[in-house]
Structure 1
Amino acid sequence: MKMVTIGDVAKRAGVSKSTISQYLNGRYEYMAIETKERIKKVIKELDYNPNKIARSLKQKKTTTIGVILANILYSFNTKVMRAIEDVCNESGYHVIICNADDNTEKEKRYIEMLLSKQVDGIIAMPTSSNMELYQKLWKRNFPLVFIDRILSDIQVSAMLLDNEKAAKLCVGELADNGYEKIAIMTMAPATSTPRMERLVGYKKAVEEYELYSDGNYVITSPIKEMQTRLGNLLESPNPPEALIAANDLTLMEILKHVRVNNLKVPKDLALIGIDEPSFADIFTPSLSTVAQPAFEIGAGAAKLLIEKIKGIELNKGIVHRFEPELIRRSSSVKA
C-alpha cells in the first residue's frame, strides 16, 4: 500500500503543502475555519499519519524528555516518575525512563543514549562521578533539572526534600515519646545528597535534644549486610531503644529483622521511617513515618523542565526544598 504523503493531503484539500504543515504544527490562528475543517476531513479520509521523526529533525525538537532514576525500586522514585509522566502527557511530551541503579557507568551510558535520541531535556538523580558530563550539558544550556540531589559545582535547578528537617522530625518524635538512645540506619555509600543530609539532621537533633550519643548508632550499610549489622547493634552491650530508617528500602530490611527475631515494636524497638510506604498504616503496629511530597516534587520538576525547553524559565540553579510531614502512628509511641 502506497504511503500517503503531505503532498497527497494538500492536493486533495486544495491547499499548499506549507498550509498543511502549519495545520499539523498547530499554527492556524489566522486560517479560515472552512480550510481547517477541510484539511481535518481529508487527513481522516486518507488516514494520513505525519512522519514525526522527519518533523522533529526539521524542527530540532522531539517532544521527548529523558528521566534518569537512581533506583526505581524506591516508592519515592515510583511516585516521582508517575507525576512526571502525568505532566508530560498533558503537555504533549513523551518520556524515556532510565534506571541507573546508582551505577555511574550505567548512568553515563543512559545520558549518552538520551542525547543520541535528541531528547529535548533531562530530569536526573545525578551522581557526582558524572559531574564533568553534567557540566558540559549545563554549559551548553541544555535543559536540565535535578531531583532528590544536588551537585554543588553546577548551578542546575533541583527539586528535593528538606532532608535535615525530615531527620530532625524523626528524632524529635522519638525523643518526645521518652526515647533517649536513638540509632539511624541508611544505605551505603552515604554520599548521595539525601543520605548525607539526613545523617547531618540526625546528628544535629541528637545534640539539640541532648540525647545519648554513640558512633555505633549510625549505621551505613549495603542492603545485603543490613540484617547482620542491625543484629550486631541490637545484641551489643548498649543497644538503642529506637531506630530511624532513612528510606523505605532500609525500613523493609529492618522489618524483616523484626519479624525473623520476633521483636515487639515499639516495646523492644521503637521505629520511624523517612518515606511513606503504602503499607505503613495497615502494618501491625502501624508505622510512624516522615513523608515527602513525591508527586509534588515530580510534577514540579517536569513543569520546570518544560519551561526550560520553551525558554521560559530564566533563573539558574534554584534549589526548591519541599516540606516533610510527620505522620504519627503506633510504632514510635512508648509502650
Structure 2
Amino acid sequence: MENKKLTMSDIAKMAGVGKSTVSRYFNGGYVKDETREKLKKIIDEYHYEPNAVAQSLKAKHSHMIGIVAPCLDSITSSRMLMAIDEYLKNSGYTTIIMNTNHNEIRELAFIEHLWRMNVDGIILLATTLTMTHQQIAAKLDIPILTVAQLFKGGISIIYDDYHAGYDVGEYGASMNHQNVLYLGVNQKDEAVGVQRKKGVLDALKDHQVKHVTVKETNFSFTDSRRIIHEYLTNHQPSLIICATDNIALACYKEIMERGLKIPDDISLIGFGGYEVSSLVTPSLCTIRYDNELAGQMAGKTMIQLIHKEPVAQTQLIGYQLIKGESVKKL
C-alpha cells in the first residue's frame, strides 16, 4: 500500500480494530497495551502521520493557536510573531498564522475560520477594533487575546503609546524645535493613529512649540515617500516626527535625495526601533518597543486563558527612547 493513500480506516483494518480505537490512540485516549503496540508497529512501518486539523476536530483540545496578523512584512510584527510562535511551540502548541494584509473584512472572516478549525484560542494582532469584533468575540467559546490595541471588555496586551509619544514630543521641544511636522496614520488605528499622535501633540503644546503641522499617510513606505515629497516641495520644517520607523525611513530617503542633510537641515524621529534605523548614517532617533517581550507575554497569557487561570485585563509594554544622531539642537 502506498504511504500517501494510507488512512485511519486502513490502519484500523490492518490492526483488526475499529476506527474509533485508532482515533483514541492518536488523541491520547485509552487503548489496550497489546492493541497500542500493534498500532504503533503499523504506523512506524508506513510512516503514517495523521492530519493535524482533521484530528483536532475530534479532540477536546487541538493544541493549536490561531494568530491573525495585519501583515508579515512589518519588522515589529515579525519580531512579535516569532516570539509568540517560539513560546507556544516550547509549550507544546502549534500556531496557525493568518495574514490579513490590513483587510478588516478578511480579519473578521479569519477569526471565524480559525474557530471552525477548532483552535484552542486566537491571538489577534489588531490595527482596528470595531463593534463587529466585539460581537464575534462574545459568541466564541474559546479565548481571544488582542495585542497592540485596547479591546474594551476583553483581554489586551498594549504598548504605552501615549507616553512614548509624549516623550518624543518633549524631546523635540527640548532640542528647541519650533517648526514641527507630525506625519501620522489614520485614527482607525487607536494605538498608532490616536494615542501615539495625541502624546506627541500634547507634549508639543505643553512646551509651547509655535508651529506644528499634522499630515496623514499610511504604513506604506511608497505612499509615505509620495506624501513627504509633496510636502517638502513648498515647506521645510526643522523637525519631522513620524508615527513609525518605516515612515521615517521614507522621509530619510526623500530628504537625502533632495540634497538636504539630516540633522543639519531637517531633524527626524520615528517609532519602532528597527535594526536598520541604527545602521543608517546618521542613526535614527526612535522609540524601541520590546516586541519580543510582548510576544512572550501573549503566548503565556493565551495558555493561562486556555487553562482558565486569572489574568490581568490589560497588560502594558514599556519602551526606550533611543536618541541616535538624527536630531539637532537648535
TM-score, structure 2 normalization? 0.82
Q: Deviations over 1:24-74 (max 9, x none)?
A: 66689xx99xx9999978865675645645542332322212211123222
Q: Deviations over 1:66-97 (max 9, x none)?
A: 21112322211111111111012112222121
- Give the structure 2 partner of residue 61 of structure 1: 61
1:322 to 311, 317, 322: 317
Q: Which amino acid aligns with 2:285?
A: S
Whether 1:289 aligns to 2:286 is: yes
1:136–1:235 CA distance, 2 compared to 1 (3 A) = closer
Question: How far is 1:20 from its partner?
Answer: 10
Question: How far is 1:285 from its partner?
Answer: 0.7
Whether 1:256 aligns to 2:253 is: yes
Whether 1:184 aligns to 2:182 is: yes
Which has the higher mean CA deviation after the structures are superposed, 64-73 or 47-56? 47-56
Question: How far is 1:323 from its partner?
Answer: 1.0
Aligned residues: 319
- Give the structure 1 partner of residue 125 of structure 2: 125
Provide the C-alpha distance between the structure 1 equivalents of 2:110 and 2:50, rounded to a whole number of angstroms: 28
1:48–1:68 CA distance, 2 compared to 1 (3 A) = closer
Q: Which amino acid aligns with 2:244?
A: N
- Give the structure 1 partner of residue 305 of structure 2: 308
1:161 to 159, 162, 167: 159
Q: Deviations over 1:180-212 (max 9, x none)?
A: 322211233554322210111011111222222
1:196–1:40 CA distance, 2 compared to 1 (3 A) = same
Provide the C-alpha distance between the structure 2 equivalents of 1:227 and 1:55, rounded to a whole number of angstroms: 48
- Give the structure 1 partner of residue 327 of structure 2: 332
| Stretches of structure 2 lacking an aligned partner (at least 5 in a row) | none
Question: How far is 1:218 from its partner?
Answer: 1.2
Query: What secondary structure, in the 3-state scheme, does the structure 1 residue paired with 2:108 have?
Result: helix
Provide the C-alpha distance between the structure 1 equivalents of 2:29 and 2:307, rounded to a whole number of angstroms: 16
Query: What secondary structure, in the 3-state scheme, does the structure 2 residue paired with 1:146 have?
Result: strand
- Residues 80 and 292, structure 2, Cα contact 8 Å, conserved in 1: yes
Which has the higher mean CA deviation after the structures are superposed, 127-136 or 67-76? 127-136
| Stretches of structure 1 lacking an aligned partner (at least 5 in a row) | 12-16
The percentage of counterpart residues that share the same residue type is 24
- Residues 15 and 38, structure 2, Cα contact 8 Å, conserved in 1: no
Query: What secondary structure, in the 3-state scheme, does the structure 1 residue paired with 2:154 have?
Result: coil
Whether 1:220 aligns to 2:226 is: no
TM-score, structure 1 normalization? 0.81
Q: Which amino acid aligns with 1:101?
A: N
Query: What secondary structure, in the 3-state scheme, does the structure 1 residue paired with 2:122 have?
Result: strand
- Give the structure 1 partner of residue 148 of structure 2: 148
Provide the C-alpha distance between the structure 1 equivalents of 2:55 and 2:229, rounded to a whole number of angstroms: 60
Query: What secondary structure, in the 3-state scheme, does the structure 2 residue paired with 1:279 have?
Result: helix
Whether 1:79 aligns to 2:76 is: no
Q: Which amino acid aligns with 1:294?
A: N
Provide the C-alpha distance between the structure 2 equivalents of 1:94 and 1:292, rounded to a whole number of angstroms: 26
Q: Deviations over 1:252-292 (max 9, x none)?
A: 32122113212200011111111011212221111111100
- Cα root mean square deviation, aligned: 3.3
- Residues 244 and 271, structure 2, Cα contact 8 Å, conserved in 1: yes
Provide the C-alpha distance between the structure 2 equivalents of 1:10 and 1:275, rounded to a whole number of angstroms: 60
